[in-house]
Amino acid sequence: MARQAYVTETDHGGSGPERPGSRLRRLVRRLLHGWRGDPRVWRRGAVLAVLALLLALVMLLHSHIPNRVGNLGSLSETFLPWLGLAIPVLLVLGVLRKSATALIAVLLPGIVWLNLFGGLLTDKQGTGGDLMVATHNVNADNPDPATTARDVASSGAQLLALEELPASAVPVYERTLASTYRYHAVVGTVGLWSKYPMSGVEAVDIKLGWKRAMRATVATPEGPLAVYVAHMPSVRVKMEAGFTARQRDKSADALGEAIADETLKRVVLLGDLNGTMNDRSLNGVTSQLRSTQGAVGSGFGFSWPASFPMARIDQIMVRGVEPESSWTLPRTGSDHLPVAARVQLDTSS
């Protein structure tokens, strides 16, 4: 009996099944074939290359962008991570333009962006921690404060800070949270609820003329902890004035001075700072404290606006304690997302 020959089809022809990746390989081969031997690939795309270089310089030198005109420096730093969206756009345009120069230039902003924010793409959360804290700007116009209170209390936080508390809603929050938190204090439009005793409650003067910041000593099982709750003034982006943040900046400096005078070793700051950790105008605070999201978070942890978070303006910051994990909580009736963190108070081991 004659031996029957079998022929195996390849991705170079025939009607057999196409191997995975063969289409992509053919596309790449066609692309390279169209570029091969064409000296114009190095001459085309000069404008794209210049745009890529400018993008890299803005990200690399953001701290040198002046604030004198419309607080342009702070505005760029607030949304700095989003500049990375321009990189794939430039990459696609470089491919369509068949410009090797543009594609090489796009590598520069890509490298700068990864150097600035690449660490946020990995999950750095730990499993330890002996204290859970949370903070939430509940929104003065919240239509259902009771449900919001129950939602954040169900997170299991031992310390809960709330900002933007209207006087009319404070009794609702107090009644709803009473079964979970034995101790609480409200100062102006901010409040702190605790499962541990509190003392030394006082307003912190952030140069506003009304009370939007407070300090308390919390008697944790590991010893006293200084807890600050703050709500910095809002910022606005206006066509005629740019990024208006003068009052926020003044309040941030005042809060930084209060924290600098703190005598307790262990400090936690909870609140809506209306600014990101990249914003140089918050240096009075950020230079003294460590952001839990940057240290042990997963992703960027954007908290505002809740419908489509674009910036991390709600912060949990620490000094003298070790952050273990940080995350955002599910959306409530507010325009902000709550944020939470676990920290290790006992750092002796």
DSSP letters of 39-61?
A: GGGGTS-HHHHHHHHHHHHHHHT
Q: Answer yes or no: do 149 and 41 share one domain.
A: no
Report d(CA 296, CA 316) in Å as an integer: 11
Stronger pLDDT, 122 or 84, i.e. the higher one: 84
pLDDT band at 27 (very low <50, low <70, confident <90, very high): low
Q: Answer yes or no: do 160 and 239 share one domain.
A: yes
Which pLDDT score, from 0 to 100, does residue 348 have?
Answer: 73
pLDDT(199) > 70: yes
Q: Answer yes or no: do 198 and 307 share one domain.
A: yes
Tell me, yes or no, whether 282 lies in a domain.
yes
CA 65, 67, 69, 70 torsion-angle sign: positive
Q: Answer yes or no: do 191 and 286 share one domain.
A: yes
Tell me, yes or no, whether 166 lies in a domain.
yes
Q: Are 321 and 220 within 8 A, CB to CB?
A: no
Q: Answer yes or no: do 68 and 142 share one domain.
A: no
Q: Which residues pair with 300 in a beta bridge?
A: none
Stronger pLDDT, 254 or 4, i.e. the higher one: 254
Tell me, yes or no, whether 135 lies in a domain.
yes
Tell me, yes or no, whether 218 lies in a domain.
yes
pLDDT(246) > 70: yes
Nearest by Cα to 259 from 158, 326, 251: 251
Tell me, yes or no, whether 17 lies in a domain.
no
Q: Which helix (H) or strand (E) holds 267?
A: strand 267-272
Pick the range with the lowest mean pLDDT from 23-37, 178-192, 211-225, 249-263: 23-37
Phi, psi angle pair for 51, to nearest 5°? -60, -40
Q: Answer yes or no: do 135 and 108 share one domain.
A: no
- Structural domain including 53 reads 22-121
Pick the range with the lowest mean pLDDT from 30-44, 84-98, 204-218: 30-44
- Angle of helix 100-117 relative to helix 86-96, nearest 10 degrees, comes to 170
| DSSP 8-state class, residue 123 | B
Q: Answer yes or no: do 32 and 160 share one domain.
A: no
Which pLDDT score, from 0 to 100, does residue 1 have?
Answer: 47
Q: Answer yes or no: do 139 and 274 share one domain.
A: yes
Number of domains in the chain: 2
Tell me, yes or no, whether 10 lies in a domain.
no
Report d(CA 113, CA 52) in Å as an integer: 12
What value does the mean pLDDT take over residues 227-233? 97
Q: Answer yes or no: do 178 and 263 share one domain.
A: yes
Residues in the chain: 349
Q: Would residue 194 be called left, alpha or beta, if left means φ above 0 and alpha means ψ between -120 and 50 degrees?
A: beta
Report d(CA 174, CA 138) in Å as an integer: 14
Return the structure tokens found at 26: 């053919």
Tell me, yes or no, whether 2 lies in a domain.
no
Pick the range with the lowest mean pLDDT from 24-28, 94-98, 203-207, 264-268: 24-28
In the listed set 93, 121, 149, which residue is the last one of a domain according to the structure? 121
Tell me, yes or no, whether 265 lies in a domain.
yes
Q: Give the domain CATH number at 182.
A: 3.60.10.10
User: ∠ at Cα 319 (318, 321), nearest 5°?
Assistant: 85
In the listed set 80, 101, 121, which residue is the last one of a domain according to the structure? 121
pTM of the model: 0.84
In the listed set 54, 88, 121, which residue is the last one of a domain according to the structure? 121
pLDDT band at 187 (very low <50, low <70, confident <90, very high): very high
Q: Answer yes or no: do 141 and 87 share one domain.
A: no
Q: What is the pLDDT of residues 99-117, one digit of tens each?
A: 989 999 999 999 999 999 9
Residues 6+ apart with CB under 8 A from 227: 159, 161, 192, 194, 215, 216, 217, 218, 267, 268, 269, 270
Q: Answer yes or no: do 160 and 255 share one domain.
A: yes
Q: Are 186 and 163 within 8 A, CB to CB?
A: no
Mean pLDDT, rounded, of the chain: 89
pLDDT(14) > 70: no
Residue indicated by tokens 């795309």? 45
Q: Answer yes or no: do 251 and 336 share one domain.
A: yes
